[in-house]
Amino acid sequence: MIAYDALGARFSDAGLRFLAASDFDGRRSIMACASASMRDLFKVSVYNFYEVLRLLGEQHGTLLSGRKHCFPNSELFHAVTVAPSHLGSIFCLHPRNSSDRLRAWSIDYRMMDVPWRRVNIARFQIDRVRSNGYTAAGGALSVAFPDVAAARRIRLAQELTEFAPIKRDMAVSHGEFRDTLTIDPFTVTVYWITPVIPDSPAVPSWIETTVEAGHVILRWRPNLEPFLYSYEVYLLQNGEPAELLSPIPLRSAMWVDTAPPKGVRSYGVRAVSASGVFSTIVSRGAVIVD
């Protein structure tokens, strides 16, 4: 995607556009069955490509320096993007030959002309551990369904993962954001910078709470705010949050409670903004697991 985008920007004056097409040819998917239930699904790592797209802006930023170190001159891919609501910057490292497969890059990164005085800074990463249910599954392919403990590990690991907890309400001096990062081969790093705002995200609207094959499938309508950071799914007791079930962040409007204990269970979900403002927790009654 970054390579085609760079070619499109380079040859835009000639009226040429380069679009990256999907290589999913019907034999692969972005989801995999977690159990005998056809709706109990894991996200494979490539699913997070679509989560990354949501973090990027619809306009290009300008690369002021360092172009000679990036693709097509090296195996380092980089793009900086702009939107009215956020800034998105992505790095990927794809070695071209075997001699580069163990070489990490250290980058002194600066983003200029940040338009907000106080910001939230999130850094997400996809690598051999983060955002990677395959590693949580033990790094081996099998036709058998994982046991309950493994399924729970995979479900927690499959989401787009923070490199470190989000930094909120950070001062920006002279419109400059600066960070030093080290990126390993076959790693994707994304910076997502948003202004600090007091607005609360909308209360999620439930679609279903369904027990199927011993699992509880929870779905709600996706929030549309560009500053949405995460959902939080709670097990409720007496109408109050008792246990956080989902990872932080959870950015998809769905969660599966894997093989919970038998009995009556009640769930609540709330939305969280990048600035740390919460919506009201909403529930949709109780279900019976038997």
Q: Convert the pLDDT of each residue in 240-249 to its tens digit.
A: 999 999 999 9
Can you give the pTM of this predicted structure? 0.91
Average predicted confidence (pLDDT) for the chain: 91
Unique residue bearing structure tokens 């490539």: 46
pLDDT value, residue 108: 96
pLDDT tens digits, residue range 174-183?
999 999 999 9
Q: Do domains 2-195 and 205-289 have the same CATH topology?
A: yes
What contacts 24+ positions apart, CB below 8 Å, involve 244-247?
Answer: 247/156, 247/159, 247/161
User: Between 2.40.10.220, 3.30.70.860, 3.20.20.70, 2.60.40.1500, what CATH number should domain 2-195 receive?
Assistant: 2.60.40.1500
Domain boundaries, the chain: 2-195, 205-289
Q: How far is CA 238 from the centre of its chain?
A: 32
Instruction: List, as one string, the DSSP characters of 26-53.
Output: SS--SEEE-SSSTT-EEEPGGGHHHHHH
